[in-house]
Amino acid sequence: MANKNEFIITREFNASQKLMFEVWTNPVHLEKWWGPIGMKMGITKLELKPEGTFHYSMKTPDGHEMWGKFVYREIIAPEKIVFVSSFSDAKEGITRHPMSDKWPLEVLSTIVFTEKNGKTTLTMTGTPINASDEEVKMFVEGFAAMNQGWAGTIAQLENYLATLS
């Protein structure tokens, strides 16, 4: 059951559950679609196991670099991935959002893949954890911007999936 602090995206893809899980967990696939439009992806580590880390960089066309990190909590192939997401630095440290010092340091994210009739519904939820009231408020106020950002990332995923069929 959703709560008011939970960000939720649900999208249906013309792909199998197995393929959807693969494109979310294999660096060969991730580097081709993950991240905001126009950013070049770099993957420094992907350990797909509980307590494993996905550490990556994203570079803008003008050379600005940002880092991100997932620490996996639960992996149930090909159905579910649970991880703590945060902004990071090159050494895997947790950092503040590059444009907001009030953004939560950690977001608990769950991705569920549900297949029906050859199509897979992706349901992604995100909830701030270990966050102050001010950080939770900033997260909730960011839902519109997150929807816009994720729309671009999901479009890249859809385009990439089309190249695989």
pLDDT for residue 101 is more than 70: yes
Closest CA to 112 of 146, 85, 78, 83: 78
User: What does the domain layout of the chain look like in residue ranges?
Assistant: 7-164
Q: What is the pLDDT of residues 32-73, one digit of tens each?
A: 999 988 999 999 999 999 999 999 999 999 999 999 999 999
What pLDDT score was predicted for residue 1?
52
DSSP E strand stretches across 14-145: 40-46, 53-59, 65-76, 80-88, 94-95, 106-116, 119-129
pLDDT-based confidence at residue 3 (cuts at 50, 70, 90): confident
Q: What is the CATH number of domain 7-164?
A: 3.30.530.20
Longest dimension (CA), the chain: 45
- In this prediction the pTM is 0.94
Q: Is there a contact between 78 and 21 (Cβ–Cβ < 8 Å)?
A: yes
Q: What is the pLDDT of residues 117-150, one digit of tens each?
A: 999 999 999 999 999 999 999 999 999 999 999 9
> Would you give the DSSP letter of residue 100?
B
